[in-house]
Amino acid sequence: MRLFGTDGVRGVANQDLTPDLALSLGRAAARVLGGGHAARFLVARDTRLSGPMLESALAAGLMSAGAEVHLAGVLPTAGVAYLTERRSFQAGVMISASHNPVADNGIKFFAADGHKLPDAVEDRIEAEMQQTSPGPVGEGIGGLRHDPGMREEYLAHLTDLVSRPYTGGVVLDAAHGAATSVLPLAFSPAARRVAVLCAEADGARINVDCGSTAPGFLKENYQAFGGTLGLAFDGDADRLIAVDEEGEVCDGDVILALLATWLKGRGELEPAAVALTVMSNGGVRDFLAQEGIRPTVTRVGDRYVIEAMRQENILLGGEQSGHIIYRRASTTGDGLATGILLLSALEETGVRLADFRRRIPHYPQRLRSVRVGNRDQALSSLAYLEALASAEASLAGVGRVLVRPSGTEPVVRVMVEAQQEELADRWLQRLCDALVQKV
């Protein structure tokens, strides 16, 4: 099985993702990405309990191959991507499992240009892990530097994105994760009133009943803290989910559509196109088309969104989950940059987020993650294949089905979209039941 998934190397920390694996991964990455000479690597992490353990092992692996390691401490993923390019590091590394549970962790790499590594480069690193070449000794061993000043540099970049401060109040849910290192400093220039919930850098509570994966917490509490709007981030702050003025949750589809129309109105969306994934609701695609904005549809995963954006020179793209990429601000999903741009767009246009949400058709869409013992067997079972064929025949012309194995968790994700809620509910249940039947 390939070590790298859709978003780096992930697993249960100290079980799947062990210090030994991190050490080997660091050594191999230094050899592949270092260009054959003393290389500089930026390493940051979120707040997970396993973060310091993996950070130490990864840094040791990098240094054992002669690399110089700069530790930035707790920092959002997008900060790593931005600083890797800006400070001319050979590569950047983020230790985080993003929105995954506390026990999980991950290691993902950014190339010198701030973009995630292509599959071919990841394969080279994985192959290099099998080699036993001797490492340098004496002065050839790499060094270690702690560089907390990089946080301020990333904050200055975010401040530059503010075009017009939001005159309302905004309440931020930091999910006890990487965003805690930069909130509320990042949003103080972007809004008149700012409050932060789940702001403790507590790795035992990261993503637990809070953040973008559990926006109900923010929905219930943002008005009590003086908020007109709520913005929720995930563990590494690369996702953003909003709560509007009426307490309704606005996902990445709504945020992406609002930013697209705002940028188009400013003459800053050339070409007039947006990249989104097959998970995006059919209603947002229809809305964008009516606004004269061409939707380009990609596979699930922000790396595939970014790949399409680079190939077609598209400036804006994102996922329903809240990964939004605006290439003039970031090379990867950046929840903080997205939130700042969203506030500027609302203030500049005078539009209420709730009113904009109502303009977008929303076709009933049902999502469920199904935990199965063996994903390949479940997806090739007769019960599942028969249910899938029946669902596709029933929904032809009035809906669609999307079933895919997760790239970061041992589950199968099922999505059913239909023009009628009853159809979506019925076929979602039948497909999920089929997946867990004994093979």
What is the C-alpha to C-alpha distance for residues 224 and 349, in angstroms, rounded to an integer?
A: 26
Among candidate residues 24, 50, 98, 330, the one labeled active-site is 98
Closest CA to 233 of 300, 306, 183: 183
Distances in Å between the alpha carbon of 171 and those of 192, 211, 350?
Answer: 11, 12, 19
Q: Can you tell me whether residue 182 is helix, strand or coil? A: coil
Nearest to 54 by CA among 11, 100, 114: 11
98 as an active site residue: the answer is yes
- Alpha-carbon torsion (223, 227, 230, 234), positive or negative: negative
Bridge partners of residue 278, in order along the sequence: none
Alpha-carbon separation of residue 243 from 39, 220, 251, 291, 404 (angstroms): 43, 10, 9, 24, 28
Closest CA to 268 of 281, 277, 259, 276: 259
411-418: strand order across its sheet: 365-371, 411-418, 399-405
CA distance 332 to 178: 16
Return the axis-axis angle of helices 51-64 and 19-33, rounded to nearest 10°: 40
Is residue 359 within 8 Å of 261, Cβ to Cβ?
A: no
Angle of helix 252-265 relative to helix 335-349, nearest 10 degrees, comes to: 50
* CA dist 53 → 50, 59, 411 (Å): 5, 10, 27
Catalytic residues: 98
